[in-house]
């Protein structure tokens, strides 16, 4: 096979040759040329010493990149060229870098220190190929094999374990048996490798054609660098929607999505939280309520530990958070989704949902048709108009300041709220209408803190409660609204007290287990019914009877739910997180559930925990 080097590479080699030095294009560029692919870059190895390399290219732009290791970078017209002296490496005390480097005049000696046979070849402009370790044959056989003793290669540099996985995945090659055995045996040495280097090899391996096969065969190594995934390995989902355990489903989803860094990272981590929220219903069917939130929490730690850039991390975490967004919400609330997230994100989200579905039971693959419809709808909307955002509002911060509001972060919050109101159809995007809406709904724009304690109590004596002085009794129907911002909880409430009926709209942002920012306003029946059109169809309306009982300096709110016969929930609002309160002797506390998300009403709208003994 006649291999042709670019002129700028051939010229550099010929200049070295003219001064009596050997020189070859080496490593990955030779591998890629032999595979018929265009290399991303070119490296040159030579018998010339570093100072001799500088002498050969005197008058040209050179950078002494790493003279101690024999490397000079030539800034040629075709691009930067790393030119390195043949060398023999000493011991690797730190498992990453040679303690000492000895220069050599032999490419054979230089090739001995390289990682894999397919990367240990060299080519000259005249067509001469140097291949002392069978690299060309391994290319033809599609095999990744270490040069010499594989255990020694990985002891020298543990990163080579991940590089082997990366090459095997990207090239869709197999890993030779002894090389694979040494990878498994030496994986502990990956502790010596920096997070940044692990990140880059992992990201590249994820984007390879062979990712499913390689990440299955080397799941122990994947688990070593990503221990968060270990619980998912072999975890039976016990669901008719799934044929695979959580980890295998994850890998099928990775392989099904486009080979783009953000998308493949998303699929790798989208279900990482599943084993931690697993539950079985009375029919033996598995459920993973809240796994999106748990996966976001765990994925955030992975991305932080591996030092991914903020833009990548933010997009991956948003995609994980919304990967289970019901398609019905996508069709119903597309304008809100576009305004909040932007069109590029929504296209990525559809790719994620498509891959997730392809990795499930094929019997449910009909969702692909609905996903195609969703994408067609999105693209049609994209052609008609840009997404509606805060910048699209007919009012701005100056208009609010003109009303007498002080400069503060609340200005931005008010503009965001007005944007949501326009998207909901509650107000027209006209300056006078928006300012009037703001004035009429001023209470919605304040953000008082709600600090509460929540206790699980034994089911109370209702006759005794009804006999208490000052007690008020409400029958409440609480419906949660769809909102793309997972940090917010938005709901409407119908509250009956005797023959009286009142309606409320509440937006709450959780700050801690005890504390939340809450915006609540009483609304009309017509406004209530209009907001119901945004009902989150993945949640049931929560029904409860509330006893508001004055006791001491506080009002105790005791909620009885029809799903429970032996227990109830008591809430008390406090002025500070350290404030004390007391309870009447006829109420029996089972335990404090303030920090237990299962007992929040937003969680009860999806699932009621079993009653405690």
Query: Cα-flanking dihedrals φ and ψ of residue 285, to 5°?
Result: -90, 135
Residue 491, C-beta contacts closer than 8 angstroms, at least 6 positions apart: 478, 479, 480, 481, 505, 506, 508, 601, 602
- pLDDT tens-digit readout, 228-241: 999 999 999 999 98
Structure confidence at residue 12 (pLDDT): 95
DSSP 8-class letter at 542: E
Query: Cα-flanking dihedrals φ and ψ of residue 442, to 5°?
Result: -55, -35
Q: Are 559 and 545 in contact (CB under 8 A)?
A: yes
Show the CA angle centred on residue 466, arms to residues 462 and 470, nearest 5°: 140
Per-residue exposure over 534-546, b if at least 16 CB sit within 10 Å of its own CB, e if not? bbbeebebbebbb
Architecture label for domain 447-604: Beta Barrel (2.40)
For residue 515, name the pLDDT band (cuts at 50, 70, 90).
low
Alpha carbon 277 to its chain's center: 18
- pLDDT tens-digit readout, 390-429: 889 999 989 888 888 877 767 877 888 888 788 877 889 9
Place of tokens 């000259």: 124
Structure confidence at residue 461 (pLDDT): 92
Structure confidence at residue 348 (pLDDT): 97
Average pLDDT of every residue of the chain: 89
- pLDDT tens-digit readout, 152-167: 999 999 999 999 999 9
- pLDDT tens-digit readout, 546-593: 999 998 888 999 999 999 999 999 999 887 777 888 899 899 999 999
Residue 342, C-beta contacts closer than 8 angstroms, at least 6 positions apart: 387
Q: Closest Cα partner for 606 from 271, 335, 293?
A: 293
Query: Cα-flanking dihedrals φ and ψ of residue 577, to 5°?
Result: -70, -20
Alpha carbon 602 to its chain's center: 23
For residue 134, name the pLDDT band (cuts at 50, 70, 90).
very high
3-state DSSP assignment of residue 112? helix
Q: Give the DSSP letter string of 464-482.
A: HHHTSTT-EEEEEEEEEBP
Q: How many angstroms separate the CA atoms of 354 and 611, rounded?
A: 38
- pLDDT tens-digit readout, 332-380: 888 888 888 889 999 999 999 999 999 999 887 678 999 999 999 999 9
Query: Cα-flanking dihedrals φ and ψ of residue 450, to 5°?
Result: -110, 120
Tokens of 337: 């989704």
Per-residue exposure over 330-347, b if at least 16 CB sit within 10 Å of its own CB, e if not? bebbbbbbbbbbeeebbe
3-state DSSP assignment of residue 463? helix
Q: Closest Cα partner for 44 from 27, 24, 21, 68?
A: 24
Q: Which sequence spans correspond to the domains of the chain?
A: 7-141, 226-384, 390-444, 447-604
Stated as kind and residue range, the H or E segment containing 153 is: helix 150-156
Q: How many angstroms separate the CA atoms of 194 and 304, rounded?
A: 13
Tokens of 62: 């050179």
E-strand spans in 399-541?
Answer: 449-458, 472-480, 488-497, 500-510, 515-523
This prediction's pTM: 0.70
For residue 77, name the pLDDT band (cuts at 50, 70, 90).
confident
Helix and strand tally (H, E) in the chain? 25, 22
Architecture label for domain 7-141: 2-Layer Sandwich (3.30)
For domain 226-384, give the CATH number.
Answer: 1.10.3210
Structure confidence at residue 95 (pLDDT): 54
Domain 390-444 fold is Serum Albumin; Chain A, Domain 1 (1.10.246)
Q: Decide if 226-384 and 447-604 have a common fold.
A: no
């Amino acid at each position: 096979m006649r291999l042709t080097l670019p002129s700028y590479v051939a010229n550099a080699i010929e200049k070295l040759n003219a001064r009596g030095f050997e020189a070859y294009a080496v490593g990955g560029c030779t591998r890629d040329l032999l595979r018929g692919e265009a290399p991303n870059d070119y490296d040159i190895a030579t018998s010339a010493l570093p100072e001799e390399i500088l002498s050969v290219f005197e008058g040209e732009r050179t950078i002494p990149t790493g003279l101690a290791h024999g490397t000079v970078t030539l800034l040629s017209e075709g691009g930067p060229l790393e030119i390195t002296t043949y060398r023999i490496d000493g011991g690797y005390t730190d498992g990453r870098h040679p303690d000492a480097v000895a220069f050599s005049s032999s490419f054979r000696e230089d090739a001995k220190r390289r990682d894999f046979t397919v990367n240990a070849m060299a080519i000259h402009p005249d067509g001469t190929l140097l291949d002392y370790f069978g690299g060309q044959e391994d290319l033809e056989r599609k095999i990744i094999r270490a040069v010499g003793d594989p255990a020694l290669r990985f002891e020298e540099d543990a990163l080579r374990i991940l590089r082997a996985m990366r090459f095997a995945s990207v090239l869709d090659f197999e890993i030779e048996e002894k090389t694979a055995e040494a990878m498994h045996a030496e994986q502990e040495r990956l502790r010596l490798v920096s997070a940044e280097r692990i990140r880059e090899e992992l990201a590249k391996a994820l984007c390879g054609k062979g990712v499913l096969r390689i990440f299955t065969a080397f799941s122990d190594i994947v688990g070593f660098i990503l221990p968060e995934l270990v619980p998912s390995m072999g975890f039976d989902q016990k669901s008719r929607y799934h044929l695979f355990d959580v980890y295998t489903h994850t890998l099928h989803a990775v392989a099904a999505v486009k080979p783009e860094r953000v998308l493949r990272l998303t699929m790798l981590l989208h279900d990482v939280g599943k084993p931690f929220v697993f539950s079985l219903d009375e029919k033996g069917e598995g459920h993973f309520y809240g796994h999106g939130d748990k996966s976001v929490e765990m994925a955030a730690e992975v991305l932080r530990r591996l030092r991914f850039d903020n833009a990548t991390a933010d997009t991956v975490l948003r995609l994980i958070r919304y990967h289970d967004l019901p398609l019905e919400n996508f069709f119903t609330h597309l304008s809100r989704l576009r305004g909040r997230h932007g069109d590029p994100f929504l296209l990525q989200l559809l790719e994620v949902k498509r891959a997730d579905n392809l990795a499930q039971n094929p019997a449910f693959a009909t969702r692909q048709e609905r996903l195609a419809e969703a994408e067609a709808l999105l693209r049609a909307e994209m052609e008609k108009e840009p997404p509606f955002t805060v910048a699209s509002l007919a009012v701005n911060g100056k208009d609010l300041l003109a009303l007498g509001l002080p400069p503060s972060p609340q200005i931005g919050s008010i503009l965001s709220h007005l944007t949501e109101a326009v998207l909901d159809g509650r107000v027209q995007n006209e300056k006078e209408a928006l300012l009037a809406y703001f004035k009429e709904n001023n209470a919605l724009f304040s953000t008082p803190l709600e600090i509460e304690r929540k206790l699980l109590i034994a089911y109370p004596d209702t006759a005794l409660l009804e006999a208490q002085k000052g007690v008020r009794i409400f029958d409440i129907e609480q419906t949660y609204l769809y909102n793309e911002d997972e940090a917010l909880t938005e709901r409407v409430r119908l509250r009956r007290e005797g023959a009286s009926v009142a309606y409320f709209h509440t937006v709450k942002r959780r700050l801690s287990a005890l504390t939340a920012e809450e915006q609540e306003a009483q609304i009309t029946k017509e406004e209530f019914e209009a907001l119901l059109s945004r009902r989150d169809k993945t949640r049931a309306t929560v029904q409860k009877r509330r006893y508001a009982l004055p006791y001491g300096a506080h009002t105790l709110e005791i909620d009885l739910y029809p799903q429970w016969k032996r227990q109830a929930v008591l809430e008390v609002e406090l002025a500070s997180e350290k404030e004390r309160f007391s309870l009447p002797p006829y109420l029996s506390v089972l335990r404090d559930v303030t920090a237990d998300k299962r007992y929040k009403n937003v969680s009860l709208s999806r699932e009621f925990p079993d009653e405690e003994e």
